[in-house]
Amino acid sequence: MRTVADFYQDCLAAVGQQPPLEVQLADAVSCVLAEDVEAPFDLPVADLAACDGYAVRSEDLVGARPKEEVELPVTEEIRAGDVNPAALVPGSAIRIASGAPMPAGSDSVIALDFTDRGLAKVRVRTQPAIGENIRRRAEDVERGEVVLRKGTRVGARQVALLAGVGRSRVLVHPRPRIVILSIGDEIVEPGSKARPGTVFDANGHALSTAVADAGAQTFRVAAVPDEPHLLRETIEDQLVRADLVLTTGGISYGSGDTVREVLSVLGTVRFDNVAAWPGHILGVGTVGGDEDGKNGIPIFCLPGDPVSAQVCFEVFVRPALRHMQGWTQLTRPSVKAAVDRAWYSPRGRREFVRVRLVGDPRNGYQAKVMGAPASLLLSALAESNALAVVPEATTNVRVGDMLQCLVLE
């Protein structure tokens, strides 16, 4: 029997980081940078006005106050984008737009709110400090400075910086393409008429959502029946667009469970009893590729029970997906919380119990167990926001015991 830690490492070892790919900014969102990004120029490229107003010399406005305004002639107007602004003549003002280059000879900008907004002449009712309302050259970044480090996730703020330094394309680890297969004769699509012996495909939809939440692209395939030829054909057809295949169901020891049989001739997939609950039978390996398993597509095989599938995804698959994308932090954040009830935990297995966390860092956290721990209830899973982890050596959990909890949301 494999330990949870060993199988976790097997999952990480089965996947590699996505090869770096240069993409447009829009396609880089949610991806992780595969390069250090350097600024090719100073930002700002020159001293700029930080607001609409008047470029002035501070010494020309000594003594200006609301009841003793100082009047200056306005000699020019500078707009954002002007390349060669006129120089400021001592004793005068130049009307200037926010983002416009500062004229030579000026040392501050008076905001419009402290003036009468005159065009030919302007009356000013305050004396500015030297440098007031000026964005200095290279105040943001200097030429050659690394503005974003390799391993940074690209979001809206990072896109703003990339665009600001003139980058239209960037090198990232692209989002992996994950093909999801639900396997079983009994599985039907939600929206179909409920009939005895059928089960709606909760796994396909839930895992698609979980994969997307982990930052990957999802391709959900219609449920495949337990028919070896059809299952093999479906898997082979999907390899052309998959960076990883994720199956659910069909891995038990029943006569109708065909995944082991099919994968035995498609690749090198190892099925293990893992010391975990729920979801103690799991598979990991590759399909396609060379005869020795090289250059194959990674495949993870999860249980068919929806609660087991979701728990195993969080514990084993999600970290692997983040590893593929270049993340350094692979697992969910965790906190310790006091449980609200007692229960028996299976000896020798690491148990993941659905709980709802309440509390805060100062006063501590409490974990309310959702449903009976041994019962795999979808309703309890939907109400939970964390997984309480019971160590393998613990069999009797008591009220108030502090357990480490993986925070799901």
Summary mean pLDDT of the chain? 94
Question: Which pLDDT score, from 0 to 100, does residue 193 have?
Answer: 82
- pLDDT tens sequence across 304-324: 999 999 999 999 999 999 999
Among residues 20, 52, 4, which one has the least CA distance to residue 352? Answer: 4
Mean pLDDT (whole number) for 220-246: 94
Could you tell me which CATH number the domain at 48-135 has? Answer: 2.170.190.11
pLDDT value of position 195: 85
Q: What percentage of the chain's residues is helix, strand, coil (to nearest 5)?
A: 20, 35, 45
Provide the Cα torsion 6, 9, 10, 15; round to 10°. Answer: 170
Give the DSSP per-residue string, 9-77: HHHHHH--PPPPEEEEHHHHTT-EESSPEEPSS-BSSS-EESSSEEEE-GGGGTT-BTTB-EEEEEEEE
**What are the DSSP E strand ranges found in 177-303?**
177-183, 187-188, 199-200, 217-224, 244-248, 267-273, 276-277, 281-287, 297-302
Q: Cα–Cα distance between 191 and 275 in angstroms, integer? A: 36
Q: How far from 175 is each of 206, 208, 212, 397, CA to CA, in Å?
A: 19, 14, 10, 40
Return d(Cα 350, Cα 330) in angstroms, integer: 19
pTM beyond 0.75, yes or no: yes
CA distances from 181 to 1, 115, 311, 353, 380 (A): 26, 68, 17, 26, 24
- pLDDT score of 293 more than 60: no
The better pLDDT of the pair 197, 363 is held by 363
CATH superfamily name and code, 21-43+143-173 = Molybdopterin biosynthesis moea protein, domain 2 (3.90.105.10)
Which pLDDT does position 381 carry in this prediction? Answer: 95
Report pLDDT for 255.
Answer: 55
Residue reference for tokens 């599938």:
309
State pLDDT tens for residues 107-116: 999 999 999 9
In whole angstroms, give the CA distance from residue 374 to residue 390: 13
Q: Where are the domains of the chain?
A: 4-18+175-325, 21-43+143-173, 48-135, 334-407
Phi, psi of 185 (to 5 degrees): -60, -30
Taking the CA of residue 61 as centre, how many other CA atoms within 13 Å lie in the half-sphere pointing to its CB?
Answer: 30
Task: Encode pLDDT of 11-36 as tens digits.
Answer: 999 999 999 999 999 999 999 999 99
- pLDDT for position 258: 87
pLDDT greater than 60 at residue 392: yes
How far apart are alpha carbons 214 and 313 in whole angstroms?
A: 10
Given a cut of 80, whether residue 290 has pLDDT beyond it is no
- Fold of domain 4-18+175-325: Molybdenum Cofactor Biosythetic Enzyme; Chain A (3.40.980)
Q: What's the mean pLDDT in 39-54?
A: 95
Structure tokens at 145: 């400075």
Which of 22 and 292 is assigned the larger pLDDT? 22
Strand order in the sheet with 70-78: 108-111, 53-56, 93-96, 70-78, 121-124
Percent of residues, the chain, with pLDDT higher than 90: 87
Q: Which residue has the higher pLDDT, 48 or 194?
A: 48
Domain 334-407 CATH class label: mainly beta
pLDDT tens digits, 177-225: 999 999 998 898 898 887 888 889 999 999 999 999 999 999 999 999 9
Using an 8 Å Cβ cutoff, are 191 and 152 in contact? no
